[in-house]
Amino acid sequence: MILVLIGYMASGKSTLGIILAEKLNYDFIDLDDYIEEKEGLTVADIFKIRGEIYFRKQETFYLEQVLQTEKNIILSLGGGTPCFGNNMQLILNAENSKSVYLKASIPQLVKKLFKKKSKRPLIAHIETKEALTEFIGKHLFERVQFYNQAEIQINTDHKSKNKIVKEILSKLF
């Protein structure tokens, strides 16, 4: 089975994905890392050198590639991946996959992201918590229609990593 983790940046996709992979003895793939390995460039450099359209086409290509594998995988997607092209349909139509939306509230996302915004090119330029709150609110408004199509939805606010993992596992098995 391929368990596809979707959600906004800082919702816990990679962190929880690694924990789930260890618990289930599955492989873990972060799609952005996978793309960087295949392309030989960082995601930031792909955007800079080849542009967003090229990146989004490659993202769909590599997503399809991973979804066709026969291995047991926890797949962590970039926050925007489900929102471009037909990516959400690819995820939902993949034969051996389940999608999980890790749903975090705007205040929770702001709290996590404001501290680490310098490491996130999309928000590095944002100066205040108020501006970040507005940015995330607008972004989520655009993306939530895709995220909500996930087969399983888990609210992550004020829950430990272990509690979230247990909740995901209880909905899967």
Which residue numbers belong to the known binding site? 10-15, 32, 56, 79, 120, 143
Alpha-carbon span 173 to 171, nearest angstrom: 6
Question: If you ran DSSP here, which 8-state letter would residue 78 be given?
Answer: P
Structure tokens at 48: 């800079």
- Residues at the annotated binding site for ATP? 10-15, 120
Amino acid at 102: L
- Residues at the annotated binding site for substrate? 32, 56, 79, 143
Neighbour tally for 112: CB within 10 Å: 16
- Residues at the annotated binding site for Mg(2+)? 14
Distances (CA, A) of 81 to 7, 76, 172: 9, 10, 22
Amino acid at 62: Y
Amino acid at 53: I
